[in-house]
Amino acid sequence: MLVGFVALVAWSLVAGPAAAAPMRGPCALERTDVRHSEGVDRWNGGYPRPLGDVSAVMLFLSFPDHVPVVDTRALTADHFPATTTFLTRASYGRFRLHPHVVQRWFRMPRPSTAYGIHRDWADGLRAQYLQDAIAAVGAAVDFRRYPVVYLVADPDARGVDADATKVINLARPIHSGHATIDRLVTVFEHHPPDQNVLAHETNHVFDLPDLYFRPPPGSNDSWDTRVGDWDLMGSQFALAPDLFAWHRWKYGWIDPGQVVCVDHPGTTTRTLTPVEVPGGTKLVVVRIDVTTALAFEVREPRANDQHACTQGVLLYEVHTDIQSGEGPITVLDGHPWTGACYGTSVYPQLADAPLGVGESYTYHFGRLAKDVLTIHVDRHGRRGWTVTAAER
């Protein structure tokens, strides 16, 4: 039986505090109450965790005002195995998503134009869409088996807006049979879709934020000024979309021993291996205050980042008190007067952000920014990139 519910968009936080998990040292910033906080001190128990084997179901929705012209198998191929390959690589095999695809169309009771589908969807129309979709599927699927649910709309139906693809969290879950559904991924992509779009949305299911900064209405400013190409959660079009080491730490894809915490003045030298390959030290974190940290890692054109046009040591600030869509992570530009990959990068000014061998970055922080931390790339060899951080 389907009961009433209220839907919230993907960037809404609907879960309460998580069950406590062990602290991971003084640099593991605490979660705050903002949507999809970047805190890593504990897992938000309102979300499934991407570790081990996780099942997903993909369902296709048609409408009475249009007969689908694209086969469901073609729509499946738009997203799989690309999505599972991306996530398996990014997790070093620690997370395996197993999609179950129902190769048929479930007919919605209303025309596609009746739901007002668009990016900033009206709550009532969105709720009606989800209610109708779950009712159309009915007993054909046991939702208890699937923490991840993809609802794929007929891409050619007149009322479908590709910009409306998102994760929807539910303030009050949907009950279908004996199943309780907390969130759904609504897919309205063109055929073929935006690259990596489903991997992006799937990471929202596991509590990662949008890293772009959404400009005010009417502005022509770029959405990609905060992280550019350097994380999938900034843009699915990114040239180097592999997840930041900070996100891998949050997920449990890298171990606490692969994270170096700098929580006192002095000099620290470490050799880092690229985030794209397993093993070795992946992340250095300098705690700035209770909600802010400076982090750095190594990026190379490998695996999910094979199209990256530069490589080196990437620096970024993490803010646990800035919510999804407002720029919770900011990449620090190691070459502020130049850019790279014009014509292919989502934000060329940051495409050459990483530091190369012999280069340094001076970071000011503390009261009136009088404290100074200098990060210097000493060398690059078979074992990795050796970096020195010196505070004065």
Residue scoring higher pLDDT (118 or 172):
118
pLDDT exceeds cutoff 90 at 279: yes
pLDDT exceeds cutoff 90 at 24: no
Single pTM value for the model: 0.92
Residue scoring higher pLDDT (180 or 25):
180
pLDDT classification of 23: cutoffs 50, 70, 90: very low
Q: State the amino acid at position 161 in one-letter form.
A: D
Q: What is the pLDDT of residue 99?
A: 98
**198-216: per-residue pLDDT in tens?**
999 999 999 999 999 988 8
Could you tell me which residues come within 8 angstroms of residue 120 by beta carbon, excluding any fewer than 6 positions away?
Answer: none
With helix as H, strand as E and coil as C, how does 16-70 read? CCCCCCCCCCCCCCCCCCCCCCCCCCCCCCCCCCCCEEEEEEEEEEEECCECCCC
Q: Is 35 within 8 Å of 324 (Cβ atoms)?
A: yes
**309-362: per-residue pLDDT in tens?**
999 999 999 999 999 999 999 999 999 999 999 999 999 999 999 999 999 999
**Distance separating alpha carbons of residues 127 and 124, to the nearest angstrom:** 5
Give how far Cα 104 sits from Cα of 73, 153, 277, Å. 9, 12, 38
**145-179: per-residue pLDDT in tens?**
999 999 999 999 999 999 999 999 998 899 999 99
Strands (E), 114-204: 148-153, 166-176, 179-187
Our measurement of the distance from residue 53's CA atom to the centroid of its chain's CA atoms, rounded to an integer in Å, reads 19
Question: Which parts of 46-195 fold into alpha helices (H)?
Answer: 72-79, 82-90, 123-137
Residue 33 has a CB neighbour count (10 Å cut-off) of 10
pLDDT exceeds cutoff 90 at 218: no
**1-14: per-residue pLDDT in tens?**
333 333 333 333 23
Our measurement of the distance from residue 356's CA atom to the centroid of its chain's CA atoms, rounded to an integer in Å, reads 27
**361-383: per-residue pLDDT in tens?**
999 987 666 789 999 999 999 99
Exposed e or buried b per residue across 342-362, where buried means at least 16 C-beta atoms within 10 angstroms of its C-beta: eeebbbbbbbbbbbeeeeebe
What is the mean predicted confidence (pLDDT) over 35-44?
96
